[in-house]
Amino acid sequence: MLFKTLIKPKKDLTTVREDITLEQALTVLEESGYRCVPILDKTGQIFRGNIYKMHIYRHKSRGGDMSLPVTYLLKNATKFITLDSAFFNIFFSIKDLPYITVLDEHNFFYGILTHSSLLNMLSQSWNVEIGSYVLTVVSSGDRGDLVEMAKIITKYTSIASCITLDVKATELVRRSLFTLPAGVSEQKLDKIVANLERKNFKVPEIENLRA
Which pairs count as long-range contacts for 183-188, CB under 8 Å and 24+ apart, including other chains?
Answer: 183/132, 183/157, 184/132, 184/133, 184/156, 184/157, 188/156, 188/157
Q: What pLDDT is stored for residue 6 in this prediction?
A: 86
pLDDT digits (tens, 9 = 90+) for 26-54: 999 999 999 999 999 999 999 999 999 99
In order of their start, the domains of the chain are 4-121 (3.10.580.10), 126-208 (3.30.70.260)
Instruction: Kindly report the pTM of this predicted structure.
Output: 0.69
**Phi-psi category of residue 76: left, alpha or beta, with phi > 0 → left and psi -120 to 50 → alpha:** left
pLDDT digits (tens, 9 = 90+) for 60-79: 999 999 999 999 999 999 99
Angle at 24 between CA 114 and CA 73, to 5 degrees: 60
Between the CA of residue 64 and those of 84, 131, 144, what are the distances in Å? 40, 55, 62
Nearest to 16 by CA among 26, 3, 4, 1: 26
Beta strands in the chain (DSSP E): 8-9, 16-17, 36-40, 47-52, 80-82, 99-103, 109-114, 131-139, 161-165, 174-181, 202-208
Cβ atoms 139, 173 nearer than 8 A: yes
pLDDT digits (tens, 9 = 90+) for 139-190: 988 889 999 999 999 999 999 989 887 655 555 788 899 999 989 999 999 9
Q: What pLDDT is stored for residue 120 in this prediction?
A: 78
Q: Taking the chain, what is the end-to-end CA distance rounded to the nearest angstrom? A: 35
